[in-house]
Chains A and B, each alone.
Chain A
Amino acid sequence: MSTERTPLSDRELWQSLATDRSVAPAAVSDMDFAAWLEGRLPEATAARIDAAVASDPAMRQAALELAGILGLPLPAPPPRMMVRAQALVGFEAERQVPRKSWLAGLFPAFGQGFALQRGAMAGIAVIVAAVGFMLGGGLGETYAEGKYASTQAPIIAKPFGRDTTNDLNDLFSDNT
């Protein structure tokens, strides 16, 4: 009986080895993956993607699937797929442009934040109120009017009937 071991086939040798790496490969962007699929990457960058694809079965499956599809004649898609996708973008005239306030039109910076916009509105309201108050005479004129009214108060406050009676009495007394 021979004690020599049967040499392993290539497949058996590979399957007898632990082929997974202990270090997880870096994430690969869609753009890098597409460039790698087209064989456009320089050697160093391609090696990074090679490592990622080799160590991630899902990525390997994606790569093999996409390589099989790209470059092949493709069947026509269902018309409903195109109609639904085309409806995602409307004509310019149909698009709802968000309305900007007149203030944001005057000062573009005011269009940026809600708080800034409200603050500016409150400030303008205060200014308008102050200007209106000043145009109406302000505190000085009101005070003067009040003072004038107070000096005339005894005459105005005098009861009408009593004044007339006193005047008539005076008239008659002078005549007698």
Chain B
Amino acid sequence: MTELSQIDLQSLAAGHKRTWDAFVVAASPLINAVVRRALANYRLSDDDVMDAAQDVFVRLCNNDFRVLKTYDSARAGLSTWLAVVSRSAAVDFARRRRQATSPIDDVPESALAVEDRHVEKLKIPDGLLTDRQTLILKCLYDEERDVAEVAQLLKIDAQTVRSTHHKALLRLREHFKEEAP
């Protein structure tokens, strides 16, 4: 079976049938996985998932392969770019079909509870944390991901995630301790 990295992109963008067929075989597992994962919260049928995957392929070859021609192999791997395009197409498809829903039992009570008092949160001043520090803290606390997942996302090792997190919290504590009365 042809790997995605072995696909002749010039031939593909020229619309050669054999290259397209090889591309479909190589790309289908990835597109299928990305679309299924993206649509998991939308509770769509298998046929819908199939249609969403077909939408991805249509998007790629429409208008004389216009989207495919925007891919630049010098900047990212084909599979990563394809995953990004597939997810974006799948989310567009789902929005056209139906709003995302979550069963009420799956939502934590804290998310459903209405707080009866207004709490004014302290604002983090611009420049106190770097964008990367903010992202790491958001992934760890807002998304409730573990250090290994964040490390995998940012292509850094787990120790770097821990030390960035530690430095960010030191800065926050230092800043808000000074501000506290």
Contact = CB atoms under 8 A, between A and B. Distances in A.
Interface of A: 10-11, 13-19, 21, 30-31, 33-35, 37-40, 46-48, 50-51, 53-54, 57, 60-70, 74-78, 80-82, 84-86, 88-92, 95
A147 B28 CA distance: 86
A80 B121 CA distance: 52
A54 B83 contact: no
B32 A74 contact: yes
Interface of B: 15-17, 20-21, 24-25, 28-34, 37-38, 50, 53-54, 57-58, 61, 70-72, 75-77, 79-81, 83-85, 87-88, 91, 121-124, 126, 130-132, 134-135, 137-139, 141-143, 145, 149, 152-156, 165, 169, 172-173, 176
B131 A63 contact: no
B75 A40 contact: yes
A95 B77 CA distance: 31
Contacts of A31: 70-72, 75-76, 81
Nearest to B54: A84
Given A18-B124, A86-B20, A10 B81 contact: no
A47 B121 contact: no
A75 B32 contact: yes
Given A66-B84, A85-B57, A53 B135 contact: yes
Nearest to B57: A85
Contacts of B72: 31
